[in-house]
Every structure is written in structure tokens, then in C-alpha cells.
Chains A and B, each alone.
Chain A
């Protein structure tokens, strides 16, 4: 029950960010799906007792893979799906606590929280890049070593055939 609630609300949350970032209208529900999958993976792993940094890495990794699949399916840039997808993972609360600690002159706790926020955002970025590189490697194996220009030329020939 708890998980269904989390899935539904993370879907709405991410889809709303799709609107704020002005994603194309037909892509907005898919932005929501990307965000919901990434969040539920993060939530589940974090509840299993894994540290938040590692959980963020895995969450962002999954976000990027699902975003890549949708990007290829709809022939849209990948950025549309993954920028709203990672929003639930962004350590907003911890960054806020950092700021609050510093204003209240509790520098030790401030630095501690700041380091946490920094590590989590680093993990998210790493997850995104790793997933992209790995999917590209796999795609290249699929295309039997063709460079991107060669696969472009192949697609061109294919469209001319259809005309």
C-alpha cells in the first residue's frame, strides 16, 4: 500500500515538473513514469538499509536507462525525460538543512549536511553518465561497430526506399 502511494505521488510530482520545464505535451506522462520508476527504486533500496548515496546512484542509473529507452522510442532528446526524472532524488531537504545550520551558526553540522548533499548530487550525476555510456556501448555492439554517421546514412537509405 505504502509503495503504491509513493508510486502515484512520485508520478504526479515528476509530471508536474515536466510541465514547469515545458516538456512536449505528449511526453509529460512518460516523464512521470521515468520519475516514478527512479523514485521507487531509490525508496525500496533505501528502506533495505542501503546508504542514501548509493541508493541515489542506483536511482539515477535506472532513471537514465528508462529515459534512454523512451528517447529512442519517441525520437526525442534524452534530456527531456531525465531532467524531470531525477528531481525526486535531488537532495533539497538536506541542502535546506545545510543553509539553516549555517544561519544558526552551527557550522559543524552545516558542513556535515553540506557534504551529504554534495555526495548525493555527485552520485546522481555519476549514475546518469554511467548509464548513458553503458547503453551507448550496448547499442554500438548491436549496430555491429557502425559509427553514428554510418547508422544515419543507413536510416537515410531506408527513408528513401519508403518514398
Chain B
């Protein structure tokens, strides 16, 4: 293998890794494609072609006939990683760092967990749920219940997701827990409006990012990705809805 071929091999790995990290963190399809192709053009590979779907990426370096596939098995929302990869692509395009350095940094980004500690996340989910009461004409006296229910809901979705790795089930379970807490609170007269408490507490689970991305992808012409993400969003909404429906139906 000549020196140059080896270089192309690494360039391909580097671009593909950038695309993979972005897709796994919940970036839009057009952004993933744009980032990979811009990085390729900055390395004087003008005829690179890519095909990006939410479950896998195919990248080819054109005439040199090297093509690689990477599959994407899990997708979460991690805006910090998207921003970091974006920075690296920017630096590489402006020739501030070399391809080797970019690849090393990407490997480091892939391994690191940038999420804030779990208790901070739960606290913010709780605060968000209780703020909802003010925004949607709820009662101030319902805020403590929403605070507890929202936090427990977020904790449940995190724990069950880690234990089962089935997204549908963890969301269903979390909304079921939220529904039961809200129902018990209203039953023991700690809260008043069951509907408002439940809606506020499931807000942190709502697939807002996926819905937005689905429509944006459809409008950008990525129909495969748009439909797939739409299906994902629908499944999440259905999971949350059926968890709540079970509580409402039972009592």
C-alpha cells in the first residue's frame, strides 16, 4: 500500500467517524452530509459522495473507489457533541488542524460522555415540569406535584433505558410512572388538576428534536431519513400516550 492510499484510507475513516458521531447525537441529515463533504473538499477530495440515513451512512471517495459503510444503532439527543464535531470540521476546513489531529480528536469525542451529572438533569427536568404550570394557566398549588412527577419521570426513563435498551419500553414505563404519581397526588388532594400535572410532567419526554428534524429533512429532500425519523417520533409519542392512557383508563 502506498503512502497516498493509506492517507485516503484514514481520511475516509475520519469523515465517516464525524458523520457517525453527529448522527448518533441527533443532528439533521443534511448537516451530516454537508459536514462530511466539506471535510472531504478541504482535503482536495472533490468527488466524494455520501448517502445518509438515520440507521447507516455510506461514504465514497469517488474515483479512488474506496467506499465504506457505518451502521448507526442508537440515537440520542446530545447537542454538545454536534457542536464539538462542527468545530473540528470548521478547523479542518480552515486548515488550522491536520487530518491526523482531527481524527484523534474525533476518537476522543466519541468516547467521552459530555452529559451533566444525572442529578442535575433530574433537577432541571423537575424545574421544567413545574414551570409548565405557569405557562399553561395551571394552578400555582400544583407546582410541587409536577416538580416531583417530572423528576421521577426523567429518572425512570434514564434507568429503564440503561437496563433494557428498548426506547419504546422505557418511555412507556416513564409515562406510566408519571401518570400514577399524578393520579395518587390528586387522589390524596395534594394536587388539583390531573390533566395539567400529567402534561407538564411528560414534557421532558416529548420527542421535540426528532419531530423538527423529520420535517426539516423532508423539506431538504432527504425523504428516506425524513420518513424514518417521522416514524421514530410517532413511536415515541405513541409510547408516551399509551402509558398515560393506561392510567386514565384504569382509574
Contact = CB atoms under 8 A, between A and B. Distances in A.
Given A16-B128, A129-B219, A88 B135 contact: yes
Contacts of B79: 18, 21-24, 27, 77, 79-80, 83
B198 interface: yes
A82 B87 CA distance: 18
Given A83-B209, A86-B212, A156-B95, A76 B125 contact: no
A125 interface: yes
A45 to B, nearest CB: 15
B186 interface: no
Range for the number of chain A residues in contact with chain B: 35 or more
Interface stretch (B55-63, B98-106, B112-120, B163-171): B112-120
B124 interface: yes
Given A19-B120, A24-B79, A77-B86, A83 B127 contact: no
A72 interface: no
Nearest to B132: A13
B138 to A, nearest CB: 10
A49 interface: no
A90 B208 contact: yes
A79 B40 CA distance: 23
B227 interface: no
A21 B195 contact: no
Given A24-B80, A77-B31, A87-B203, A128 B41 contact: no
Interface in B59-83: 77-83
A129 B94 contact: no
Contacts, number: 148
Nearest to B96: A159
A20 B124 contact: yes
Contacts of A92: 199, 202-203, 206
B216 A129 contact: yes
A1 interface: no
A159 B91 CA distance: 11
A12 interface: yes
Q: Tell me the dominant secondary structure on chain B's binding face.
A: helix
Contact of A79 (B27, B124, B198, B215): B27
B144 interface: no
B199 A9 contact: no
Interface of B: 27-28, 31, 38, 41, 77-83, 86-87, 90, 93-96, 114-116, 120-121, 124-125, 127-128, 131-132, 134-136, 154, 195-196, 198-199, 202-204, 206, 208-209, 211-213, 215-216, 219, 237, 241-242, 244-245, 248-249
- A-B pairs, top 10 by smallest CB distance, nearest first, are A125-B215, A16-B128, A13-B131, A99-B241, A16-B124, A19-B124, A103-B245, A9-B134, A23-B79, A83-B209
24 contacts: A12-B128, A13-B128, A13-B132, A16-B128, A19-B120, A20-B121, A20-B204, A22-B80, A24-B80, A77-B86, A83-B212, A86-B212, A87-B208, A90-B206, A92-B199, A92-B203, A96-B195, A99-B248, A100-B245, A102-B245, A128-B216, A149-B41, A152-B38, A155-B94
